[in-house]
Structure 1
Amino acid sequence: MTPAEYSALAHPRLSHPARSLYSLQLRRLVMEHQPPRLSYPELGRALAVVDPMDASGFSYQVNARQLTALFDELIEAGLLQIESQAESEHYHQCSFSLPLLSQRSRSPLPERPFQMHLHWRPDEELPALARLCGVIDASYSEEDLGEFIAYWLGRPEVFDSQHQWMLKFIRALKTRRYARRQPTMVAGYQQISPEPVSTGPSKRAQEMIEQAKRLAGQQENEDD
């Protein structure tokens, strides 16, 4: 959750049902890449609280007019924006966006860990984070990303925050780039890195060796 969202949701004029509607339903739809469309029946059922002891079967329910009022609260708070509105007093089947969700600065609240998924992408903080890890060029290919996602999809027991997933991705990029820089040669069906070729002592070192030999020879002649 971004700081802007947290601040807007904490406003005392925003009702608890409106906060729940945003946090548990609208935001979830967007984060799970589901169609951002307002379905009154679906959202109404999500907000209903079941109570078998009540004659109606629910201790809390909202009708269409009340649901519209909750949307109006979120619109006034800047949390919800209706993209297309039908000629009606309601917002049923209207597409929407969450403006404050796009403000991707880090939240003061701890990020919720999640499993790797097919739609995962690093966010815009990747270049700065990569530089802190010693990676100047934070660019990557679809092959880099696909291999990373495929690897962690096979480990569903791992849950990490977005920040931790990006650190893992940066380490994977460093490993792949290091491997690409290493020259290889084929031996049978295996690729092996050749042994470093020794170039011998440098010219300066050879001159010093020759000079030492001459001095040693002069010293032997003098002793004779």
Structure 2
Amino acid sequence: MTPAEHQALTSPRLSHPARSLYLLYLRHQARGELTHPLDYPSLGRALAVQGKGDYRYRVTPADLTALVDELQQAGLLALEERPHPQHYHGARFRLPLKNLQGLTPLPARQFAMYPEWRPDEQFEGLARLCGLLDCHFDDVELGEFIAYWLGRPEVFENQHQWMLRFVRQLKNRRALRRTPGLEPHTGYQQTPPVQSASGPSKRAQEMMAEARRLGGEQQESHDEKDT
């Protein structure tokens, strides 16, 4: 499967029967980029789900026509030959995305944050692409990022998406350091605006904001235990 096919097949607008029709039958049985002439009876039997004494799922000819329309709208099929204008029985299609490799590999698997997570060798290029010219970070910045997302094990991202989140945190921190008076946020939640020059120093304000954030997380943890 090419990255272009993967992107089209994972569209939320595409139904599971349409994905199955493409992956398990049309693509699998195609000769190069062209399908065999579609045979509605055999496709109907292939997609049917047998139950005890009856079918739990079956498709009608009208259903098959609708599924093929879905695949065409997603860009996975392009009509080459259509003997009957009302349906696609006997029609042949081209698979335009089958050999379209694209510039990026298939998305990596998603995972929850873990203590040993580190950005990979693509981080510097990704950071510069996002406008973060100084992509260096220290153990404190990385540790705070990991610690925050360790507390949210329900969040799953792939490596690229985790690095994007980390880039956003670093950009927010750099903006906070460069812009006095800016209403900062740490990348996770908003904090109160910085005080005037007569108030606490900028570093003290950052430390107080971090303490309030940590205190809020601890309070949430206690509340969850109480409930």
Instruction: Identify whether the pair has TM-score above 0.5, normalized to the shorter chain.
Output: no
Give the TM-score range, shorter chain. Answer: 0.3 to 0.5
TM-score (norm 2): 0.43
TM-score (norm 1): 0.44
